[in-house]
């Protein structure tokens, strides 16, 4: 019969240092979820999205308001008056508010602008919709269109209440690059 030899002493000491006690899976408890790590990652996602939105806004601003495009020109808006669509005339004093039932229009003095500019004039309602405009064209071409009325939206009998903004814009390269005149009018409820 062969006698089994015991392993060398150095091997036993090395092996026993790595020996682990048996694991009883019933006693294993899952570690709690680190809520700070989850919140930190969520914050990083929000930061990345906000930086993307900021970059998009800056790019849009640079496209529509290029640096160095300010000319210092100011369009002469004579006023905003009650409008008579039958005779295409205005009447009464310059006003800053109107009832819903009253039509109104802005009067622009195009002769106050240089002849080589391309400009337009627009009315925006409280929702940002264009509700009246002339142009784009040169001031000489717009000389016969000094009255820019607000049009009642299709399907309605009166203007919608809210603030209406009238702007005169300078064009370059087919896009508006500078607001050279602005008036705000309130349409009362």
Q: What is the pLDDT along the chain (189 residues), one digit of tens a residue?
A: 555 565 555 554 555 555 566 767 677 666 677 788 889 999 999 999 999 999 999 998 887 776 776 677 888 899 999 999 888 899 999 999 999 889 999 999 998 898 888 999 999 998 888 998 898 999 989 988 999 999 988 888 888 889 999 999 998 888 888 888 999 999 888
Residue found by looking up tokens 């819903």 in the block: 100
- CA angle 158–159–165, rounded 5-degree value: 165
Residue 25's pLDDT is: 66
Q: How many residues does the chain have?
A: 189
Give me the sheet containing 130-137, strands edge to edge. Answer: 97-98, 175-187, 162-172, 118-124, 130-137
The reply to whether the predicted model has a pTM over 0.75 is no
CATH 2.60.40 fits 76-187, yes or no: yes
CA–CA gap between residue 162 and residue 94 (Å, rounded): 18
Per-residue confidence (pLDDT) for residue 20, from 0 to 100: 66
- Cβ-count burial of 144 within 10 angstroms (0-12 exposed, 13-18 middle, 19+ buried)? exposed
Beta strands at 175-187 and 162-172: parallel, antiparallel or unpaired: antiparallel
> What order of strands is seen across the sheet that includes strand 89-91?
89-91, 76-84, 104-109, 147-149
pLDDT at 160: 86
pLDDT at 124: 93
CB 103 within 8 A of CB 147: no
Q: Which has the closest alpha carbon to 82: 161, 33, 147?
A: 147
Nearest alpha-carbon partner for 176 in 121, 123, 125: 121
């Amino acid at each position: 019969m062969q006698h089994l030899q015991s392993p060398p002493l150095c091997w036993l000491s090395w092996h026993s240092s790595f020996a682990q006690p048996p694991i009883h899976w019933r006693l294993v408890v899952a570690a709690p979820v680190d809520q700070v790590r989850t919140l930190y990652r969520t914050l990083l996602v929000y930061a990345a999205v906000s930086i993307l939105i900021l970059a998009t806004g800056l790019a849009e601003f640079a496209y529509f308001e290029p640096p160095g495009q300010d000319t210092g020109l100011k369009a002469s808006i004579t006023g905003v008056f009650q409008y008579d669509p039958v005779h295409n005339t205005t009447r009464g004093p310059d006003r800053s508010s109107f009832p819903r039932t009253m039509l109104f229009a802005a009067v622009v003095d195009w002769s106050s602008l240089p002849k080589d500019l391309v400009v337009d004039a627009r009315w925006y309602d409280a929702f940002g919709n264009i509700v009246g405009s002339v142009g784009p064209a040169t001031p000489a071409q717009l000389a016969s269109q000094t009255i820019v009325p607000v049009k009642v939206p299709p399907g309605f009998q009166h203007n919608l209440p809210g603030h209406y903004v009238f702007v005169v814009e300078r064009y370059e390269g087919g896009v508006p690059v500078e607001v050279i005149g602005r008036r705000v009018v309130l349409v009362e409820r």
